[in-house]
């Protein structure tokens, strides 16, 4: 009995789907532009963005220069966004601002273009080209509309994008350190500090600079060691001076003692 009920339910769903598809095809093939637009808007309002998108796509070239084109363009861009096709939504939102710069929706569309880029950007372990594009677009929006109700939200996305880029750079520095490329790690950590001077992780980067310098000195040829231990000691002093409350000071002090003892040992050997 249950099997029969399941079969009947399956047949019912199939009939509904076939009927729905047939109905949509009838709308799509209609030559009545206004009817098509009405149905597209109905699909959009019902959040059926796939069907709305298909109809809007066919209407876009037909309705260009008509009074309905602006609203059509606006909704068409949003169908891509709701379908999570962020590359296309960013493109159409940006195009909207260029076609209709005086529109009441131009500001929103510029923001949505930047937001689409942000949503498309990958996690920080992957290539960050799109994160850079997202950051630039969101910063451009924030600069252009400093009094917008979306300004705080835009600022938040800017900070998140900057953090993602910072973490990407920091991961590269960590990788150099972990594969024993201590000189390259030192340069990379300094670069992170230079690019993100207000980072809450600045003391960590300074600590890692000292740590990498010490490791580099340890594996250097004897004639270069004293100079490189001295560089590590200088990095320690910068950490103490610039970050007196850093949680890394205790560990840094142990490394400083090691570096200082090695310098004294080298000097005693040369007496």
pLDDT (tens digit per residue) in 171-197: 999 999 999 999 999 999 999 999 999
Sign of CA dihedral 150, 152, 155, 160: negative
Residue for token pair 């962020």 = 86
For 48-192, list the strands marked E by DSSP.
Answer: none
DSSP 86: H
Which pLDDT value is given to residue 49?
Answer: 97
129 against 17, higher pLDDT: 129
Rounded percentage of the chain residues whose pLDDT exceeds 90: 79
Closest by CA position to 173, among listed 182, 162, 160: 182
- Residue 15 clears pLDDT 50, i.e. is over it: no
Cα separation, 174 vs 186, whole angstroms: 10
**pLDDT digits over 219-241, tens only?**
999 999 999 999 999 999 999 99
What's the gap between Cα 267 and its chain centre?
Answer: 51
Cα separation, 267 vs 27, whole angstroms: 89
CA atoms within 13 A on the CB side of 252: 26
Q: Let me know the angle formed at the C-alpha of 148 by 147 and 151, rounded to the nearest 5 degrees.
A: 95
Average pLDDT estimate for 116-140: 86
Confidence of residue 22 (pLDDT cuts 50, 70, 90): low
Which pLDDT value is given to residue 16?
Answer: 47
- Residue 160 clears pLDDT 60, i.e. is over it: yes
Residue for token pair 């979306």 = 150
Which pLDDT value is given to residue 267?
Answer: 83
Given a contact cutoff of 8 angstroms between Cβ atoms, the answer to whether 90 and 117 are in contact is yes
Cβ partners under 8 Å of residue 199, min gap 6: 166, 192, 193, 205
CATH topology of domain 180-271: 1.25.40
Return mean pLDDT, the chain.
Answer: 90
| Cβ atoms within 10 Å of 149's Cβ, excluding its own | 10
């Amino acid at each position: 009995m249950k099997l029969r009920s399941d079969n009947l339910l399956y047949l019912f769903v199939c009939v509904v789907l076939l009927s729905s598809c047939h109905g949509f095809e009838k709308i799509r093939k209609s030559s009545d532009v206004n009817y098509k637009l009405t149905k597209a808007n109905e699909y959009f309002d019902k959040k059926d963005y796939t069907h709305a998108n298909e109809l809007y796509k066919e209407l876009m070239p037909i309705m260009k220069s008509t009074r309905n084109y602006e609203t059509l363009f606006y909704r068409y861009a949003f169908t891509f966004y709701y379908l999570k096709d962020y590359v296309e939504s960013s493109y159409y939102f940006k195009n909207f601002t260029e076609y209709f710069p005086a529109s009441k929706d131009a500001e929103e569309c510029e923001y949505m273009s930047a937001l689409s880029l942000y949503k498309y950007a990958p996690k920080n372990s992957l290539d960050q080209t799109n994160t850079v594009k997202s950051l630039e677009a969101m910063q451009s929006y924030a600069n252009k509309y400093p009094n917008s109700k979306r300004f705080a939200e835009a600022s938040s996305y800017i900070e998140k994008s900057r953090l993602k880029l910072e973490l990407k750079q920091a991961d590269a520095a960590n990788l150099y350190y972990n594969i024993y490329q201590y000189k390259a790690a030192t340069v990379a950590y300094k670069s992170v500090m230079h690019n993100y001077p207000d980072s809450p992780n600045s003391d960590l980067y300074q600590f890692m600079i000292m740590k990498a310098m010490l490791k580099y000195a340890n594996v250097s040829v004897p004639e270069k060691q004293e100079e490189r231990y001295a560089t590590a000691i200088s990095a320690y002093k910068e950490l103490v001076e610039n970050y007196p409350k850093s949680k890394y000071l205790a560990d840094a002090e142990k490394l400083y003692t090691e570096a200082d003892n090695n310098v004294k040992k080298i000097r005693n050997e040369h007496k």
